[in-house]
């Protein structure tokens, strides 16, 4: 009898272990974190693809899927819809969304300058400053995107009124270039490697440069934290372990950027990111990689600059009580060992 009971208990215990193992496997399978990137071929968002290429997500035991979206505003919408858990996009969305009653926060700050440039078509030499934007069509990645925010800020600071300019969503890369070639836009905001491609062909020139911290302070009045990993605050509070692991992976990536040459970094990126000009890609990265933070920490004066920029033109933000301390956190980057 004892032998039978013993056998029964052994079988029962084995069944429980198998069930527990199965449940654990299901939980692990559901642990995938999906991050939408507002154009992962853009150099401003380079840390996303680089972290994947270096294997840093896997080192942290994370199953991360990167999805690509042409404009940051579309990535933001995917986050709010619950389709993705995180966005690699501009920090200014965190401020803009809080004005609309939605709380998202930057948990790793990739850059301290936008890495953007306002380019002017060579067909329109009459455009010599943002004051000359009146009556012109200006290219942005998407309506409600950070390029749209910055374009409207420059127009407003130049004394132009709402309606004096039209912003046209043209994306980046080939679609941006085609829009300028066809004169659908007379000027527009874009990033590397699109900037270098257009300068090389002589189709456009730089009007306002925001690729370095110094140039950004001149253009926007202060440090402008831009590319970041931002997530819904509620998700971060419920998934602190995953948030910490993401911070670990991205801070290691930022340290890699700051301790390796542009050529070494470029070698880790997909070849199609070079758009047929690896030397040009490396040159642009060498000149622009100073925009990346060394440690993922939010620059102290950055959030206030972003608020001032958005308050200049945005009816959503102007006059609203914004708690900037809720738009970002340094909790996780400070805990990276």
Which whole-number Å values give the CA distances from 254 to 111, 224, 294, in the listed order?
9, 18, 6
Supply the pLDDT for residue 76: 82
Supply the pLDDT for residue 80: 87
Nearby residues of 85 by Cβ (< 8 Å), 6 or more positions away: 33, 34, 35, 79, 231, 235, 239
Supply the pLDDT for residue 44: 95
Q: Which residues pair with 209 in a beta bridge?
A: 117
pLDDT tens, residue by residue, 73-92: 678 888 988 899 999 999 99
Burial 294-313 (b: 16+ CB within 10 A, else e): eebbbbeebbebbbebbbbb
> For the purposes of burial, counting CB atoms within 10 Å of the CB of 4, is it exposed (0-12), middle (13-18) or buried (19 or more)?
exposed
pLDDT tens, residue by residue, 225-260: 999 999 999 999 999 999 999 999 999 999 999 999
Domain residue ranges of the chain, discontinuous segments joined by +: 30-114+225-334, 116-210
Which whole-number Å values give the CA distances from 241 to 234, 247, 317, in the listed order?
14, 10, 32
Distance separating alpha carbons of residues 329 and 233, to the nearest angstrom: 10
pTM above 0.85, yes or no: yes
Q: What are the residue ranges in the chain where pLDDT is below 70?
A: 1-30, 70-73
CATH number of 30-114+225-334: 3.40.190.10
Asked whether this chain's domains 30-114+225-334 and 116-210 adopt the same fold, the reply is yes
Distance separating alpha carbons of residues 151 and 162, to the nearest angstrom: 12
Which whole-number Å values give the CA distances from 202 to 89, 187, 197, in the listed order?
29, 14, 9
Supply the pLDDT for residue 21: 38
Supply the pLDDT for residue 74: 75
Contact 227, 47 (CB under 8 A): yes
CATH class given for the domain over 116-210: alpha beta
């Amino acid at each position: 009898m004892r032998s039978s009971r013993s056998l029964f208990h052994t079988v029962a215990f084995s069944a429980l272990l198998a069930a527990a193992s199965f449940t654990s496997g299901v939980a692990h399978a559901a642990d995938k974190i999906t991050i939408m990137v507002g154009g992962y071929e853009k150099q401003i968002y380079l840390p996303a693809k680089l972290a994947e290429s270096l294997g840093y997500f896997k080192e942290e035991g994370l199953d991360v899927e990167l999805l690509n979206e042409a404009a940051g505003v579309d990535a933001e919408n995917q986050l709010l819809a619950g389709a993705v858990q995180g966005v690699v996009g501009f920090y200014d969305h965190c401020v803009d969304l809080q004005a609309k009653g939605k709380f998202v926060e930057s948990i790793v700050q990739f850059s301290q300058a936008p890495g953007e440039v306002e380019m002017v078509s060579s067909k329109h030499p009459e455009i010599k400053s943002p004051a000359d934007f009146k009556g012109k069509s200006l290219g942005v990645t998407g309506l409600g995107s950070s390029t749209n925010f910055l374009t409207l800020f420059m127009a407003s600071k130049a004394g132009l009124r709402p309606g004096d300019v039209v912003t046209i969503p043209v994306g980046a890369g080939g679609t941006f270039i085609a829009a300028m070639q066809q004169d659908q836009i007379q000027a527009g905001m874009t990033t590397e490697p699109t900037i270098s491609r257009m300068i090389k062909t002589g189709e456009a020139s730089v009007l306002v440069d925001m690729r370095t911290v110094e140039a950004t302070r001149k253009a926007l009045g202060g440090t402008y934290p831009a590319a970041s990993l931002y997530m819904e605050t509620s998700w971060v509070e419920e998934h602190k372990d995953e948030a910490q692991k993401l911070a670990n992976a991205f801070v290691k990536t930022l340290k890699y950027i700051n301790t390796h040459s542009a050529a070494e970094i470029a070698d880790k990126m997909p070849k199609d990111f070079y758009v047929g000009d690896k030397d040009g890609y490396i040159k642009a990265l060498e000149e622009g990689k100073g925009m990346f933070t060394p440690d993922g920490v939010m620059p102290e004066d950055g959030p206030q600059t972003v608020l001032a920029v958005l308050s200049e033109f945005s009816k959503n933000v102007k006059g609203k009580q914004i708690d900037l301390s809720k738009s970002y956190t340094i909790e996780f980057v400070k805990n990276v060992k």
